[in-house]
Amino acid sequence: MATRRKWLVSAVPTTRREFAATDRVTAMLWVYQGARGPLAPVTLSTRIVNEKDETVSTTSETLAVDRFAAGRRMESSFELPLDRLPPGAYLLTFEATMSKVSDRRDVPFSVR
């Protein structure tokens, strides 16, 4: 019988997109750099927009070259500030920018 170790998995992945204000939710993503050329710093911006198209949260950080592991990728995470968001629908946007190249991912979610 295998021994279970809680520290092996620090989070339980979910595809749920509706949360209570008391939930603790961390969005995780991988940032990749293409296989050609030298690694470069990447600016990762995070934005949350409400159903009135108002920005309610923004963050931005520079991901230094040394944070990218073998495979030219790095993991990043963002804790949703659910306790500061009134009930409603939201759009979480991640945008990674390196020089003149950028890519973004949008994830809808709601707070009940």
Tokens of 94: 């991640």
Per-residue pLDDT for the chain (112 aa), expressed as one digit of tens each? 454 444 445 566 777 899 999 999 999 899 988 777 899 999 999 999 999 999 999 999 999 999 998 889 999 999 999 999 999 999 999 999 998 889 999 999 999 9
| Domains of the chain as residue ranges with CATH | 19-111 (2.60.40.10)
The length of the chain in residues reads 112
CB atoms closer than 10 angstroms to residue 54: 8
Q: How far is CA 33 from CA 39, 63, 77, 98, in A?
A: 7, 11, 17, 9
pTM of the complete model beyond 0.85? no
In Å, what is the CA distance from 104 to each residue of 13, 44, 69? Answer: 21, 10, 21
